[in-house]
């Protein structure tokens, strides 16, 4: 006789995905909020959405790269080399910017 768990594995995977997604979302939310606040203050950009997100750990530092899209259609590449650093922004469309 199979246990209820084995009879309903979909429920297990659903709960697992919800838990993992919640953990990932809360981790992302912190730096996304910092990014959103910083670009609003520095560049008067109301963030529409963030895309092309890359998070890496390099020599013990959490590196974040992303593209920030403003409501007014401007776009910036954002880079932060460590969780304690401020983000650096580069306007897409400027010369010498190949990442945009």
Predicted pLDDT at 34: 96
**CB-based contacts of 57: which residues, under 8 Å, 6+ apart?**
63
pLDDT value of position 39: 98
Whose tokens are 């203050």? That residue is: 41
Residue whose entry in the numeric block shows the structure tokens 């409501």:
71
Quick one: pLDDT at residue 93? 83
Give the pLDDT of residue 56.
Answer: 93
Q: Are 74 and 97 in contact (CB under 8 A)?
A: no
Sequence-ordered strand ranges (E) for the chain: 47-58, 61-70, 75-80, 88-91
Q: Average pLDDT by consecutive 10-residue portion of the chain (100 residues)?
A: 50 40 54 96 97 93 96 97 95 67
CA atoms within 13 A on the CB side of 23: 5
Query: For residue 2, what pLDDT is reported?
Result: 52
Ordered by start, the domain boundaries in the chain are 11-91
Separation of first and last alpha carbons in the chain? 58
12, two tokens: 């297990």
């Amino acid at each position: 006789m199979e246990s209820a768990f084995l009879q309903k594995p979909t429920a297990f995977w659903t709960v697992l995905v919800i838990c993992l997604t919640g953990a990932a979302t809360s981790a992302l939310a912190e730096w996304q909020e910092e990014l959103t606040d910083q670009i609003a203050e520095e560049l008067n950009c109301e963030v529409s959405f963030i895309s092309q997100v890359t998070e890496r750990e390099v020599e013990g530092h959490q590196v974040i790269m992303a593209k920030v899209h403003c409501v007014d259609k401007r776009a910036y590449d954002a880079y932060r080399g460590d969780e304690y650093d401020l983000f650096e922004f580069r306007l897409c469309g400027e010369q010498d910017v190949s990442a945009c």
